[in-house]
């Protein structure tokens, strides 16, 4: 790489959002030279790879419903119609809820909004759940542990059959392969973007530019391997956005939090096998993605491994970070043991006799309303803030980013539904706050 | 101070928001022992003292209109009826606007919403402005400098006569004096709060608490002079909120930016004196607070000093900060010279022959919608995010914070208008995004 080179568009970040955006930009702007960059040595190796890699269209805000429903349908299309194996399994999502939770205003609103948007869901009662998941403990009468842990009993199950799990690395590969087929510029890995270049437009070549009275534009990026000038800089940097945007005076509006996943195998455990092979939820005869009523604990089935990935959406007590640090990549075994395990094994006693054989951790990038941010200002196209659900929003976000780049007022999502392209901007934001964040 | 002491309420931060909140809490909860803390050696010495100390009710969002209109009326009440001198001068605010700006949708909406809320304003045309402010340059025809700097011509003036300027230190003293009269606990200064204490409730005395399944509460603060336990911790920390809230997993939703003020005296300058003594805007026969159409430059009159404080609401190009640093307290003379001065002296040529005799800088604490954040969760009462207009919102914010503490669903503001107490919370936020941020 030379000291300073020029390209049309530079896409910073080759996670799922970055590759989807690069793909749609290249597809709809075939003459543009688009360079995809990532600090890691391959695409999708940062927080995309650390994700629970489950996809759902069951959101409470109509915006997230639109973004995820179209993306999940696109994922199905890639696997079923284009024949690109994503290991996408439509196992469904199952929220286990207490009577009180189920009747809560926010859950009722969530269901109403899903009906309005044509998102399919089912409600199971306690008896049905007991039959479908014999390993589930729905009655804590007399359990001191459950009382001590504030565990809510299971009265209802809210189930979405169009949701599922997939392999995020393969999904990244799909976009990356398609992008590379079209692009004349080879993606570069191991390149660390240090800062955005903000310049006066026009430049007067005076010391101290840009001044407050000058128009300003981002005209490129400084990397550890030299400067790259571009007409448009795409930021798909997730949890690292603050590091690049704040110094030039653009507020990323995001913060991150560490999240951890622990893998438990069920091969030698009859109880876990029974949970894994739960019948009646889906055509695959497998366990859905399950969210417990208490403490934010959830698990997803992993059929190939005959096991589960167990996570926890911890709220108070888990620090928000300005920028993700290396420490956020280190899972804490004591956290599984003391915080997640007691909850999990009370609801599902079959987990009591096993321990994780693997674990990892990564960063979650929150926006203030848990709705993504996609905006194009002063030369920077920000595609960020997916709030823990980037994989299931990536296709829609990539299309919207490309539409903003091309100045298209409306974006057509997969399946034909349309969304005003400025919906996710900061200046013309028009969204409901998302309440169903895991 | 002992190693660990216990109090009912600890208020962290004795800026204008902190003292107003402490005052209303003590007034309406007379039996509570309330301790006011500040890291500086006196109240109101941090960003309150660095402010331009002007107050306006001319906002575009109905929420900010309500907060500021009641606070400005309270300020008038304190000075006129309670006889406490705040050096409050109702000089008015004058936005100078180009034809294009004036006709912009957002300005039209702003005016409409002010009419709806009963906020008084006047519109002056170019001819009227020329007569009232002979020193104002409204016509840049043929000026290469003006063209180079993208300066918009002045076509209209939007004027609010109920706005003005005051001495923020005196306003802090008003609340502090009244608080001290009621409080049994002496405020402490020079105490640096290092962190919030988050604990399980109930505590089980197990290592590693609090776990994810435990209820949690903030039960006090760790300071450089020992621990203080309290039933309620009030955070009125402005630009330092992230440092305390993020580590326990509460998102402050704020960021800060450096702002600077430069003082120019007009005693020996006929042109500046003429501006300072502009007639026709107010009963005082003095210049209003003036916002120029371009580059964010503004100035406020300072009658006692026969001069002006000149500031600039710089946007792109001025870094957002996670937490304010000492560097944010250092004004940059080159910034005045190269960025503000050329703009100011083109609109008002009388400024061309003088230079600042004093300057200071401080931090501006932005919320995502430029509306304050007031919420009471898990033992922490956050009163923050005034977005550069804390002085003009302090009274309303203090009353709302106290109402939340007492569990009152509605807050009565000064003048009798009411606001649902949860309006400014994160969870039940119900506000329009503010567009008129200086």
Q: Both tokens of residue B102?
A: 């004036």
Domain boundary among B345, B366, B387: B366
Residue B70 belongs to a domain: no
The sign of the torsion formed by the CA atoms of B117, B118, B119, B125 equals: positive
Asked whether residue A235 falls in the same domain as residue A299, the answer is no
Asked whether the beta carbons of residue A249 and residue B214 sit closer than 8 angstroms, the reply is no
Do A280 and A317 belong to one domain? yes
State residue A412's pLDDT score: 98
Check whether residue A176 and residue A249 sit in a common domain: yes
CA distance A80 to chain B (A): 40
Over the stretch A75-88, which tens digit does the pLDDT of each residue have?
Answer: 999 999 999 999 99
Share of chain B above pLDDT 90, in %: 94
Task: Indicate whether A357 and A373 sit together in one domain.
Answer: no
Identify the residue among A106, A144, A213 best suited for mutation to test binding to B, counting B beta carbons within 10 A and taking the highest: A213
Convert chain A into a string of H (helix), E (strand) and C (coil).
CCCEEEEEEEEECCCHHHHHHHHHHHHHCCCCCEEEEECCCCCCCCHHHHCCCEECCCCCCHHHHHHHHHHHHHHHHHHHCCCCCCCCECCCEEEEECHHHHHCHHHHHHHHHHHHHCCCCEEEEHHHHHHHCCCCCCCCCCCHHHHHCCCCCCCEEEEECCCEECCHHHHHHHHHHHHHHHCCCCCEECCCEEEEEEEECCCCCCCCCCCCCCCEEEEEEEECCEEEEEEEEEECCHHHHHHHHHHHCCCCCCEEEEEEEEEEECCCCHHHHHHHCCCCCCCCCCCCEEECCCCCEEEEEECCCCEEEEEECCCCCCCEECCCCHHHHCCCHHHHHHHHHHHHHHHCHHHHHCCCCEEEEEEEEECCCCCCEEEEECCEEEEECCCCCCCCCHHHHHHHHHHHHHCCCEEECCCCCEEECCCCCCCCCCCCCCCCCC
CATH number at residue A46: 3.50.50.60
This prediction has a pTM of: 0.94
Contacts of B419 (CB under 8 A, 6+ apart): B63, B66, B67, B396, B400, B410, B411, B413
Task: Give the span between the Cα atoms of B277 and A6, in whole angstroms.
Answer: 55
pLDDT at A4: 85
A41 CB near a chain B CB, below 8 Å?
no
Looking at residues A145-156, what average pLDDT do you find?
95
> Among the three residues A366, A384, A412, which one is the final residue of a domain in this structure?
A366
**What's the CA gap between B373 and A301, in Å, rounded?**
40
Residue B167 distance to chain A (closest CA, Å): 28
Compare CB distances from B255 to A251, A294, A378 and report the shortest one's residue. Answer: A251
Asked if residue A2 has pLDDT above 80, the reply is no
For A297-340, how does the pLDDT look when each residue is reduced to its tens digit (9 = 90+)?
Answer: 999 999 989 999 999 999 999 999 999 999 999 999 999 999 99
Query: Is position B229 within any domain?
Result: yes
- Cβ-Cβ contacts under 8 Å, B368 against chain A: 251, 253, 368
CA dist., res. B276 & res. B307, Å (int): 7
**Interfacial B residues in 51-110 facing A (CB < 8 Å):** none
Q: Are residues B184 and B156 in the same domain?
A: no
Chain B CB within 8 Å of residue A152 CB = no
* Residue B103 is assigned to a structural domain of this protein: yes
* Per-residue model confidence as pLDDT tens digits over B210-222: 999 999 999 999 9
pLDDT of residue B1: 46
Find which of A195, A200, A201, A211 to mutate to test the B interface (most B CBs within 10 Å of its CB).
A211
Chain B residues whose beta carbon lies within 8 Å of the beta carbon of residue A150: 213-215
Q: Is residue A43 part of a domain?
A: yes
Asked whether residue A380 is domain-assigned, the answer is yes
Question: Inter-chain contact B249–A317, Cβ cutoff 8 Å?
Answer: yes
Q: From A322, which residue of chain B is nearest by alpha-carbon distance?
A: B322
Between chains, do A297 and B245 touch, taking CB under 8 Å as contact?
A: no
Please, which residues have CB within 8 angstroms of residue B29's CB and are 6 or more apart in sequence?
B8, B9, B402, B405, B406
Provide the mean pLDDT of chain A.
96
Q: What is the pLDDT of residues B26-68, one digit of tens each?
A: 999 999 999 999 999 999 999 999 999 999 999 999 999 999 9
For B184, the 3-state DSSP assignment is coil
Q: Is A214 on the interface with B (CB under 8 A)?
A: yes
Same domain, A264 and A328: yes
Check whether A394 has a pLDDT greater than 90: yes
CB-closest option in B204, B246, B295 to A213: B295
- Residues A225 and A341 both lie in one domain: no
Interface test with A, best of B211, B248, B344, B430 (most A CBs within 10 A): B211
Q: Which of B248, B320, B338 is facing A249, going by the closest CB pair?
A: B320
CATH number of the domain that residue B130 is part of? 3.30.9.10
Where residue A110 falls among pLDDT bands split at 50, 70, 90?
very high
> Average pLDDT for residues A145-150, to the nearest whole number?
94
The number of distinct structural domains making up chain B is 2
Q: In terms of domains, do B176 and B321 share one?
A: no
pLDDT number for residue A152 = 96
Residue B377 in any domain: the answer is yes
**Number of CB pairs, chain A paired with chain B, less than 8 A apart:** 126
Phi and psi at residue B248, to the nearest 5°: -95, 5
Cross-chain CB nearest to A246 (options B314, B319, B368): B319
Average pLDDT, chain B: 96
Which pLDDT band, with edges at 50, 70 and 90, does B2 fall under?
low
Tens digit of each residue's pLDDT (9 = 90 or more) over B117-143:
999 999 999 999 999 999 999 989 999
CA dist B430 → B195, B420, B433 (Å): 30, 9, 10
Is A210 in CB contact (< 8 Å) with chain B? yes
The answer on A305 and A219 residing in a single domain is no
In a shared domain, residues A208 and A339:
no
Q: Domain for residue B78, yes or no?
A: no
- The pLDDT, as a whole number, for residue A1 is 46
Q: Are strands A93-97 and A34-38 parallel, antiparallel or unpaired?
A: unpaired
Q: Is residue A248 part of a domain?
A: yes
A147 and A259 in a single domain? The answer is yes
Structural domain range at position B48: 4-52+170-254+369-420
- Which chain A residues are Cβ-neighbours of B247 within 8 angstroms? 319-320
* Best A242, A293, A316 residue to mutate vs chain B (most B CBs within 10 Å): A316
What's the CA gap between B304 and B282, in Å, rounded?
A: 17
Same domain, A286 and A411: no
pLDDT tens, position by position, B337-372: 999 999 999 999 999 999 999 999 999 999 999 999
């Amino acid at each position: 790489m030379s000291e300073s080179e020029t390209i049309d568009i530079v896409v910073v970040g080759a996670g799922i959002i970055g590759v989807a955006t690069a793909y749609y930009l290249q597809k709809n702007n075939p003459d543009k030279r688009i360079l995809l960059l990532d600090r890691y040595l391959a695409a999708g190796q940062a927080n995309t790879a650390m994700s629970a890699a489950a996809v759902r269209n069951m959101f409470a805000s109509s915006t997230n419903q639109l973004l995820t429903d179209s993306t999940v349908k696109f994922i199905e299309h890639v696997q079923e119609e284009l024949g690109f194996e994503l290991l996408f399994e439509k196992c469904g999502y199952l929220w286990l809820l207490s009577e009180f939770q189920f009747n809560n205003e926010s859950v009722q609103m969530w269901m109403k909004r899903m009906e309005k948007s044509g998102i399919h869901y089912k409600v199971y009662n306690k008896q049905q759940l007991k039959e479908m998941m014999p390993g589930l403990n729905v009655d804590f009468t007399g359990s001191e542990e459950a009382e001590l842990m504030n565990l809510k009993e299971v009265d209802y199950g809210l189930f979405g059959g169009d949701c599922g799990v997939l392999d995020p690395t393969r999904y990244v590969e799909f976009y990356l392969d398609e992008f590379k087929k079209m692009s004349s510029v080879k993606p570069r890995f191991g390149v660390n973007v240090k800062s955005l270049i903000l310049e006066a437009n026009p430049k007067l070549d005076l010391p101290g530019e840009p001044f407050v009275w000058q128009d300003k534009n981002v005209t490129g990026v400084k990397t550890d391997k030299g400067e790259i000038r571009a007409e448009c800089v795409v930021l798909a940097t997730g949890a690292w956005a603050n590091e690049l945007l704040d110094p030039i005076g653009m507020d990323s509006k995001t913060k991150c939090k560490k999240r951890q996943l622990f893998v438990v195998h069920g091969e030698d455990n009859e109880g876990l096998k029974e949970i894994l092979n739960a019948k009646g939820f889906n055509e695959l005869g497998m366990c859905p993605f399950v969210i417990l009523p208490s403490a934010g604990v959830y698990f997803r089935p992993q059929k190939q491994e005959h096991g589960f990935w167990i996570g926890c959406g911890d709220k108070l007590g888990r620090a928000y970070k300005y920028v993700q640090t290396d420490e956020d990549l280190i899972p804490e075994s004591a956290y599984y043991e003391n915080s997640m395990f007691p909850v999990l094994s009370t609801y599902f006693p079959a987990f009591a006799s096993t321990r994780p054989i693997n674990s990892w951790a990564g960063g979650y990038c929150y926006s203030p309303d848990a709705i993504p941010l996609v905006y194009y200002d002063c030369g920077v196209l920000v595609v960020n803030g997916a709030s823990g659900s980037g994989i299931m929003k990536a296709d829609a976000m990539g299309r919207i980013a490309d539409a903003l780049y091309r100045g298209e007022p409306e974006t057509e999502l997969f399946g034909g539904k349309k969304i005003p392209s400025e919906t996710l901007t900061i200046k013309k934001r028009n969204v409901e706050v998302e309440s169903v964040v895991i």
